[in-house]
Structure 1
Amino acid sequence: MDIKNFGYGSLDEAIKALNKDSTTITGSVKLSGGDINEAYMLKLSNDKRVFLKSNKSKETEFFEAEAQGLLAIHATKTIAVPQVLCGGNDSDRGAFLILEYLDNVGKVKGYWSIFAEELANMHKADAVNFVKAGKYGFLNNNYIGSRKQINTSYDKWVDFFRECRLIPLFENAETYFDNSMIKNINRLLDNLDKWLLEPERPSLLHGDLWSGNFITGNDGKAWLIDPAVYVGHAEADIAMTELFGGFVEEFYHTYADSKLLGYGYEDRRNLYNLYHLLNHLISFGGSYYDPVIRIIKYYIG
């Protein structure tokens, strides 16, 4: 995707360029929610408000990757995301991204059904323009949380999931596993094609779809935020929604009507979520060890 308005050398420069005048920041309100970035609502001298994310430990490309994901979702014309405004690197705040600010409004009637329908439409959208070659992957590597996510293109879903999702994280988490468990892991990796099926169509995925990564937008509907996009199997997004909860039955009943979940999805769900549990094991420590081991043992017997 074409990323515009990135590379500003300061937040003040970005705000002035964004508004094409001498607009300044007149106030800021720190927002809660994420544990990786600082987040603020900025008040501007022209009475507008914008949303700022910043991170002193990251380079600009960290937020460029997020912006690219938001633009990819927007390009499907199926489900809303905040508008990407600009980004850059500020000497005080570090790398930053400025997005459209969304007011907190009430949910529309049928909120969860509409959310499921729009997500299914995103999963049904033509994804061919989001990969450089092959069927699965993305235009660039990006991030899952703060961790680099590899999106090399592959023609088969099982190969992509093995090489770009499980292997990199198993390698990062290697110190948690003894020799016996490493053998079990290799057996799992060698036999993924026993469980993973090719989808009827590759889908653009949000990639990190837990309950903290959607918000209620100005129209009262669900808007996607903080994507870790790639082209894969739609089942992987739905599996993630079930990992930590926060989604209601109405959402799943409506999504099931899309027919995007293949027969036996329930037997594959934990395999998809192994990726996210490994990421949490590496990021947050040993409390995620037992769930990872249970999944490995479930599949290899």
Structure 2
Amino acid sequence: MSTFDRAAELPHDLTDDLVDGLGVVRATPLGGGDTASAFRLETARGTLFAKTMADPPAGMMAVEVAGLHALREHVPEFLGVPEVVRWTERGIVQEWIEEAPDRRPPGTEEQCGRGLAALHRARGTAFGGLDPDLPGRIGSFEVDLSPTQDWAAFLLDRRIRPLLRDAVRSGRIAAHAEDLLEELAPRAEELAGPQEPPTLVHGDLWAGNRLVDVRGRNWLIDPSAYWGHREVDIAMMLLFGGFGADCLAAYDAEHPLAPGWQERVPWYQLPPLLVHAVRFGGGYGDAAVRALLRLRG
């Protein structure tokens, strides 16, 4: 048993099954999460990071842990993925990453691009989830991750259509967006791009899920990983910014993207835009409509 006084020293989010035995002497709350609580833990084994949720959807933590394990298995040595120290259905403890100040060392962007190119060479046998015994989830959203060989249909029927339907039903996007999508549906194979084998994707690769440590090493965190198409990650990287031109140039030099990938970006950005529309409202629904209009031409 650990020796701390729980009532005096630790938030109740940090339950015994998550932290007992780690020798936690201090837990400092961290900001930044919109659905979870985060903590810096000072422990007998050094500094660790903990993320907790009071009532997460079933299997959500297990899916994230599986994603972290898969990424660690397939990234090159110079691209980091945090080690999972312990996890429960309500939380994860993992190694601490000491982030760099705002100024990043030269070459950081190129290293990031090269590392992602190496990750995207990992091959699966089918598009879908990492483990058939885990529930189908992308973050908190329930999705169908059963194996399939048809990527274009996977993207249209398991991602874009259901999310757009949810956005319309919740009033987050104009109803005519469904008509726009049905105009585009016959072009689903074209919009998904040339066929590629299933690739391990991070699944939520915005700038906040890529860290750079004090030594200039890039790290990938908080994955929603599955076997998909690498343009999923590329489009997400471009949606909110935060990745330099040198990153994409290095990626394309190592693992060239298929011709026309820039024109496909709006199609691949629809799922994250619709997720954000459902969750946050604001201008995300309008942005999704603009993407549909661009694709319609």
The answer to whether TM tops 0.5 is yes
Q: Which among 113, 117, 133 is matched to residue 116 of structure 1?
A: 113
Distance 1:287 1:179, change over 3 A: closer
Please say if residues 143 and 149 of structure 1, whose CA atoms lie closer than 8 Å, have aligned partners that are also in contact.
yes
Gaps of 5+ in 1: 1-8, 90-94, 129-134
Within a 5 Å distance, the mapping from 1:59-98 to structure 2 comes to 61-78=59-76, 79-88=79-88, 95-98=90-93
Task: Summarize deviations over 1:97-117 as a string: whole Å, max 9, x none.
Answer: 111112234644411111110
Within a 5 Å distance, the mapping from 1:163-174 to structure 2 comes to 163-174=157-168
Task: Summarize deviations over 1:83-125 as a string: whole Å, max 9, x none.
Answer: 0111225xxxxx1111111223464441111111011000012
Distance 1:200 1:58, change over 3 A: closer
Task: Summarize deviations over 1:130-186 as a string: whole Å, max 9, x none.
Answer: xxxxx2111244544432343222102101111221122012112345664422222
1:117 and 1:193 map into 2 onto residues whose CA distance is 28
2:206 and 2:166 map into 1 onto residues whose CA distance is 23
Please say if residues 112 and 218 of structure 2, whose CA atoms lie closer than 8 Å, have aligned partners that are also in contact.
yes
SS in 2 for 1:293: helix
Asked if residue 126 in structure 1 is aligned to residue 120 in structure 2, the reply is no
Residue equivalent to 2:249: 253
SS in 2 for 1:271: helix
Q: Give 1:220 shift.
A: 2.6
2:282 and 2:240 map into 1 onto residues whose CA distance is 17
Residue equivalent to 2:7: none
Please say if residues 136 and 142 of structure 2, whose CA atoms lie closer than 8 Å, have aligned partners that are also in contact.
yes
Residue equivalent to 1:28: 27
Please say if residues 201 and 233 of structure 2, whose CA atoms lie closer than 8 Å, have aligned partners that are also in contact.
yes
Structure 1 residue runs of 4+, over 6 Å off? none
Q: Which among 27, 52, 55 is matched to residue 53 of structure 2?
A: 55
SS in 2 for 1:228: coil
2:59 and 2:147 map into 1 onto residues whose CA distance is 20
Asked if residue 15 in structure 1 is aligned to residue 15 in structure 2, the reply is no
Please say if residues 235 and 260 of structure 1, whose CA atoms lie closer than 8 Å, have aligned partners that are also in contact.
no
Please say if residues 168 and 175 of structure 2, whose CA atoms lie closer than 8 Å, have aligned partners that are also in contact.
no
Distance 1:180 1:41, change over 3 A: closer
Which residue identity does 2:154 align to in structure 1? F
Task: Summarize deviations over 1:36-69 as a string: whole Å, max 9, x none.
Answer: 211001122x262211101112156221111111
Distance 1:145 1:14, change over 3 A: closer
1:194 and 1:75 map into 2 onto residues whose CA distance is 32
Asked if residue 136 in structure 1 is aligned to residue 133 in structure 2, the reply is no
Distance 1:67 1:103, change over 3 A: same
Asked if residue 221 in structure 1 is aligned to residue 217 in structure 2, the reply is yes
SS in 2 for 1:254: helix
Distance 1:184 1:98, change over 3 A: same
Which residue identity does 2:216 align to in structure 1? G
Which residue identity does 1:117 align to in structure 2? R
1:36 and 1:81 map into 2 onto residues whose CA distance is 21
1:220 and 1:49 map into 2 onto residues whose CA distance is 19
Q: CA RMSD of the aligned region, Å?
A: 2.3
Question: Which stretch of structure 1 is more off in the superposition, 175-184 or 144-153?
Answer: 175-184
Residue equivalent to 2:153: 159
Residue equivalent to 1:99: 94
Residue equivalent to 2:200: 204
SS in 2 for 1:39: strand
Higher relative contact order (CA 8 A, sep 6+): 2
Within a 5 Å distance, the mapping from 1:39-50 to structure 2 comes to 39-44=38-43, 46=44, 48-50=46-48
Task: Summarize deviations over 1:200-252 as a string: whole Å, max 9, x none.
Answer: 33210001111000112465311000101111111121111111111111111
TM-score normalised according to structure 1 size? 0.83
